[in-house]
Amino acid sequence: MNRPDPAPSTWSRRALPVLAAGLLGVAALLLQPPAALLAATPELATLPPWAQRAMLALNPLLLVLAASAVGATLAHRVGLRSHLAGTAPAREPLGVWTTSVGWGLLVGIAVHGLDRLLAPAWGEGWHALVQAQAGTAGSRLVVGLLYGGLAEEVIARWGAMSLLAWGLLRALGPARARLALGLAVALSALAFGAAHLPALAALVELDAALVARTLLLNGLGAVVYGWLFCRHHLEAAMAAHATTHLALAALLVGLG
């Protein structure tokens, strides 16, 4: 569980490169249209589009800052590693990356398949939203690759999961380290799914089916990304998450 750092590094060395990756992901949010919630707020609707986009990126920016600090402080203490932070071995088998990409592809295929299978349950509001967003597929893919693959992994895995693993390990004790990590994966996956609900609620009226969809499909990927973070490192989770977005985009284009 408590693996030694292959190359002990200072707190800033662990925090700053991860922060830079997260900030790149947050910057990608500036490519997407302002959320309906912002446009509907009188004070913000008067702002130019770039300012509305900046407001949209404010909360993720704060979360990335906090998560970078939390992960730099706690991740290595519970055996969670990162190349960017200097706590993962510099040399590793190529299979780590092919495995991560393969799992990302499988998640994309599974999510797309479940979404199509259960589509009748999502309601007219959801399908209208999907149709309205059809012309923004390119920008949404870029946002998925950078914000999803980088910023969300910094927030959900490097920050939230590391904090949960550290807290659970202290509560359960070293003898139950595997249980602590497993619970951290599950709880951070649930939080990851729930974190998508406010943005969705700004675009469409939520009902039980859409809440279940958001928790199920996002949580499915989050469990895989969390497992890869535990087994390998943060960058393996990032690679899988980004690959999932590529797979989803390819399936949407190829299958409609």
Q: Can you give the pLDDT at residue 63?
A: 97
Confidence (pTM): 0.91
Maximal CA-CA distance, the chain: 57
Q: Can you give the pLDDT at residue 40?
A: 56
Residue 5 forms part of a structural domain: no
Give tens-digit pLDDT for 170-226: 999 999 999 999 999 999 999 999 999 988 887 888 999 999 999 999 999 999 999
What does the H/E/C string look like for 58-93? Answer: HHHHHHHHHHHHHHHHHHHHHCCCCCCCCCCCCCCC
Residue 33 forms part of a structural domain: yes
* Confidence tier at 5 by pLDDT (50, 70, 90): very low
Residue 1 forms part of a structural domain: no
Could you tell me the residue range of the domain that residue 218 belongs to? 11-255
Supply the mean pLDDT for the chain: 89
CA distance 214 to 202: 14
Q: Which two tokens stand for residue 108?
A: 């994309």
Residue 244 forms part of a structural domain: yes
The arithmetic mean of pLDDT across residues 41-66, rounded, is 82
Total of domains in the chain:
1
Give tens-digit pLDDT for 73-128: 999 999 999 999 999 988 889 999 999 999 999 999 999 999 999 999 988 888 88
Residue 6 forms part of a structural domain: no
> Is the pLDDT reported for residue 60 higher than 90?
yes
Residue 221 forms part of a structural domain: yes
Q: Which residues contact 149 (CB under 8 A, 6 or more apart)?
A: 25, 238, 239, 241, 242, 245
* Confidence tier at 39 by pLDDT (50, 70, 90): low
Residue 2 forms part of a structural domain: no
Residue 3 forms part of a structural domain: no
CA distance 43 to 31: 22
Q: Can you give the pLDDT at residue 6?
A: 47
φ/ψ bin of 18: left (φ > 0), alpha (ψ from -120 to 50), beta (otherwise): alpha
For CA atoms 191, 195, 200, 202, the dihedral sign is: positive
CB 111 within 8 A of CB 244: yes
